[in-house]
Amino acid sequence: MLLRPQIMVFIRVPEHSDLSKHLDLTQSFAFGIRHNDAMPFSRIAYQFLAGLLIAGLIFSARAADLPAAFTAALKQAGIPLDHVAVVVQPLDGGEPLLSHNAEAALNPASVMKLVTSFAALNQLGPGYAWQTELWADGEIKEGVLNGDLVIKGYGDPTLTLERMWLLQRALRARGVIHIRGNLVLDLSYFDLPLIDPGAFDGEPLAVYNAAPGALVANFNALTLRLKPEGKQVLIVPDIALPGVALTSQLVLEESTTCNGWKDAIIPFVPGYQQLALVVSGRYPRGCGEQVLTLNLFEPAATFDFIFRGLWTEAGGTLGGATMAGRAPATEPLLRFASEPLTEALIRLNKYSNNLMTRNLFLTLGADKYGAPATLDKGARAVKEALTQRGVSTRKLVLENGSGLSRIERISAATLSQLLDAAYRSPLFAEFESALPIVAIDGTLKRRFNGSSLAGNAHLKTGTLRDVSALAGYLYTVGGQRVSVVILMNHGNAHYSEPAQRALLEWVQTTSHGLPPLRAQEPLVNRSALQGDIEKNPRGPAGQVSAGASR
């Protein structure tokens, strides 16, 4: 038997290169060239190099198909084309209008929230509600609990101040006004490593860096009011913070203007004292009273401050200490349900709430694989949900599902697949309505103002130091609907808005030969409404139930 020799040529392609849209960046590629003794090596090499040249011409031609206004704006911003990925896809299932670097695995920043949201709608269902359970570990008599109050959290990210008040109101309705024991917090539903909130960008007090937790109140944010008085600036917390030292080192300036006041102040926690906050810098008198919202403590401590503060404001007392513990195996006194998932997704996506997304990501893991929730379980659950809906996960790298990450990656092609799968889902209305509307609300309220895009696109935004991204749905002037994905990873990404606007306006206003809107109606598989998608075993939003009457 005559063995035919092979020449194996291995090419490694940079992650952001033009070749990446055609090659799998996760591995090397072998091109096997078979020949016999009659074919000289020089001819083989010539054919191979010619093939590369032709491929390069094809890549250049595809780059040239990008709108001129878009490429000119990118050049003006100093963003190379090989750091940009674009897919514009008609929702009738035809060929993409644009596809550039579609397979490149890029950092999407908060556009990754689309992935977690899509997985959650499909796995948990639109009516899913988180639970918070409370036990009275002692006798309740004449408004007094002679024992501990135990609270177990299951990751509800919607416990705002208003909903904390509703939870406490339901507890008072069960006869508890004065608590003579301790406050015991059961955090066992989440199993997380120690999280340094400043590790991402050196801003540990920024609310967007708040860590996830099984018990989280008010997005782990505490509000301080800055009030000029005499020659000083007072710091007054909205919720009482007993034991926390608040020190104002602000210099009050006699200025009537109030531009950029937040940039002129520096809040910090002294290294020698954890329960303390110092605010230094300059503060114009013309600002009057302003609000400063900070991520001061880890979630359990913030929950404790807010629970105690609201409880005291309502006339209750809580005499004991706060400690970690486990809930009893008995039926709880109270179950408090969150608002439904669809409502949570609106706040999560329109305002790009990282903590809500991270808690949702962990919830998916615990729901799919059992408690306790872990980051690994969350990643596996998300990937499985996407796979079940026909969305590729080959280039998907997940860390926490929120996009607040330096390592998360996804391709524009995968995001385009996801947007198409959502469009053809019976839950498309819930998915699309959670996205910001251009120039109308959320993170897009002040973007593309004065453009014809206003009100005509639902897009999720993503922004990091070197990332700018958009993905969602756009209506053209002809009434057709297309999905759009724009990912940019470059040090000049923060200059990308004119380029994004140029591309979106080109998509909206140019005739692309698309079919009429009626021909674009999606084929919806209504059978998907059966089973997991309807799952909501925990009752309507805000519903509370006593254990004895459940």
3-state SS string over 302-330?
A: HHHHHHHHHHHHCCCEECCCEEECCCCCC
What is the rounded (10 degree) CA torsion for 414, 415, 417, 418?
120
Give the residue from 436, 454, 520, 507 showing the smallest Cα distance to 117. 436
CA distance 151 to 530: 34
User: Model-level pTM?
Assistant: 0.84
Span 131-195+300-337: which CATH code? 3.50.80.20
In CATH terms, is domain 68-127+340-532 a member of 3.40.920.10? no
pLDDT of 500: 98
> 258 with 287: CB under 8 angstroms?
yes
**Helical H segments across 370-464, by residue range:** 375-388, 412-423, 428-433
131-195+300-337: same fold as 68-127+340-532? no
Quick check: helix, strand or coil at residue 1?
A: coil
Distance of CA 520 to the CA centre of its chain: 29
Q: Beta 317-318 vs 467-475: how paired, if at all?
A: unpaired
Per-10-residue mean pLDDT of the chain, 550 residues long, equals: 34 36 34 36 42 38 75 98 98 92 98 98 98 98 98 98 98 98 98 95 97 98 97 96 95 94 94 87 96 97 98 97 98 98 98 98 98 98 98 97 98 98 98 98 97 97 98 94 98 98 96 63 44 40 40
Give the residue from 349, 200, 228, 364 showing the smallest Cα distance to 285. 228
Each domain of the chain, given as residue ranges in start order, spans: 6-64, 68-127+340-532, 131-195+300-337, 222-294
Sheet strands (E) in 446-545: 457-464, 467-475, 481-489, 544-545
pLDDT of 515: 67
pLDDT of 257: 92
Alpha-carbon Rg of the chain, whole angstroms?
27
HEC per residue, 59-110: HHHHHHCCCHHHHHHHHHHCCCHHHEEEEEEECCCCCCCEEECCCCEECCHH
Only one residue has tokens 């392609």, namely 13
- Inter-CA distances, 484 with 69, 98, 109, 498, Å: 17, 9, 16, 16
Residues in the chain: 550
- Phi, psi (deg, nearest 5) at residue 381: -65, -45
Q: What is the DSSP string of 194-241?
A: ---TTTTTS-TT-GGGPPP-SS-SGGG-EEEEEEEETTEEEEEESS--
229 forms beta bridges with: 232
> 278 with 267: CB under 8 angstroms?
yes
Q: How many CA atoms lie within 13 A of 499 on its CB side?
A: 28
CA distance 343 to 333: 26
Q: Beta 6-11 vs 29-34: how paired, if at all?
A: antiparallel
Give the residue from 353, 336, 333 showing the smallest Cα distance to 344. 353
